[in-house]
């Protein structure tokens, strides 16, 4: 695998854009909006679920970002800097399902699918999971799968939904997600793991049905 260079700061182009925005340049502002609005809305929606509230959060975030734009020093990429405003606006409003302990998570796969501790080859599959490469291409890309992924994300504890949204939906690399959420790599990875495991399990139930 090729080495990925950790680009932890804003590019020259981004610094130029922000300078232009501060000078009142509408074209520059529109460019920034077009590049980053979707990511901001995705993250806001991960916190609050209700579309109207998410949109309000995003607009509040843009207002706050403009007001603070003289503080953009390019030390973080522009996207990460903008997403921080979303986090600040959204966190207090985050939906929390009743009665769910914050970090509770089942094992990635039901224990019963593995051989027991008192038998032969403990911990190994009783029966293998399916080879999804044998599924027709369009199945994995189809509307059903998108629907199941979206539904599963909605049912996640918000702290897991936020991480998987940033990492897998928006596509932030790990260090950027850690910076935006102000969490350690270990914590984001653990939440990502639980979230992805649930989505996989939901897709598996669908394909095996």
Partner 1 sequence: MIAYKFLGADATAPFTRFAWPLPDGRPAAWVEAPTHPCRSGVHACRRNDLPLWVGPVLYEIELGGEIVAGPAKLVASRGRLLRRVTAWDDRLRDAYARVCADRAHELALGPAPPLADWDAVIEPSIPEGPALLGFVAARIAEERNGRAAYHDERRRQAAWLMERLSL
Partner 2 sequence: MPESPDHVTCQEVVELVTAYLERSMAADETTLFEQHLNFCEGCVWYVEQMRGTVEATRRIAEDDIPADARERLLMAFRDWTAP
- Residues lying near partner 1 in the complex (CB under 8 A): 1, 3, 119-121
CB 163 within 8 A of CB 177: yes
C-beta of 133: minimal distance to partner 1 in Å? Answer: 12
CA 38 from chain centre, in angstroms, equals: 12
Q: Which does 120 bind (CB under 5 to 8 A by kind): partner 1, partner 2, none?
A: partner 1
- Tokens standing for residue 22: 């501060």
- Stretch near partner 2 under the rule CB under 8 A, chosen from 21-29, 72-80, 83-91, 94-102: 21-29
- Tokens standing for residue 96: 């929390």
- Stretch near partner 2 under the rule CB under 8 A, chosen from 11-19, 38-46, 74-82, 91-99: 38-46
User: Looking at 24, 99, 102, 119, which residue binds partner 2 (CB under 8 A)?
Assistant: 24
Question: Three-state DSSP class for 114?
Answer: strand
How far apart, in whole angstroms, are the C-alpha atoms of residue 117 and residue 182? Answer: 39
On the CB side of 24, CA atoms within 13 Å amount to 0
C-beta of 70: minimal distance to partner 2 in Å? Answer: 12
CA 4 from chain centre, in angstroms, equals: 20
CB 94 within 8 A of CB 48: yes
Q: Which does 109 bind (CB under 5 to 8 A by kind): partner 2, partner 1, none?
A: partner 2
Whole-angstrom CA distances from 165 to 44, 109, 123, 197 are 10, 22, 31, 14
Positions in 123-142 near partner 2 (CB under 8 A):
123-125, 128-133, 140-141
Backbone φ and ψ of 97, nearest 5°: -65, 145
Binding to partner 2 by residue 31, rule CB under 8 A? no
Q: Which does 144 bind (CB under 5 to 8 A by kind): partner 2, partner 1, none?
A: none
How far apart, in whole angstroms, are the C-alpha atoms of residue 47 and residue 41? Answer: 10
What is the binding site for partner 2 (CB under 8 A)? 21, 24, 26, 29-30, 33-34, 37-38, 41-42, 55, 58-59, 62-63, 66-67, 107-109, 111, 114, 122-125, 128-133, 140-141, 145-146, 149-150, 153, 164, 168-171, 174, 185, 189, 192-193, 196-197, 199-200, 203-204
């Amino acid at each position: 695998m090729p080495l990925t260079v950790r680009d932890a700061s804003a590019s020259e182009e981004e610094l130029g854009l922000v300078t232009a925005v501060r000078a009142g340049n509408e074209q520059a502002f529109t460019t920034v909006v077009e590049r980053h609005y979707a990511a901001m809305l995705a993250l806001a929606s991960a916190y609050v679920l209700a579309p109207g509230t998410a949109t309000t959060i995003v607009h509040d975030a843009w207002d706050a970002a403009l007001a603070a734009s003289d503080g953009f020093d390019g030390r973080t990429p522009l996207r990460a800097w903008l997403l921080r405003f979303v986090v600040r606006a959204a966190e207090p409003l985050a939906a929390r399902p009743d009665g769910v302990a914050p970090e509770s998570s089942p094992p990635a796969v039901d224990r019963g699918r593995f051989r027991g501790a008192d038998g032969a080859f403990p911990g190994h599959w009783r029966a293998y999971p399916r080879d999804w490469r044998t599924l027709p291409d369009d199945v994995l890309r189809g509307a059903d799968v998108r629907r199941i992924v979206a539904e599963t994300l909605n049912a996640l504890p918000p702290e897991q939904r936020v991480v998987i949204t940033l990492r897998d939906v928006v596509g932030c690399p790990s260090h950027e997600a850690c910076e935006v959420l102000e969490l350690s790599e270990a914590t984001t990875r653990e939440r990502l793991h639980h979230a992805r495991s649930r989505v996989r399990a939901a897709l598996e139930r669908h394909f095996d049905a």
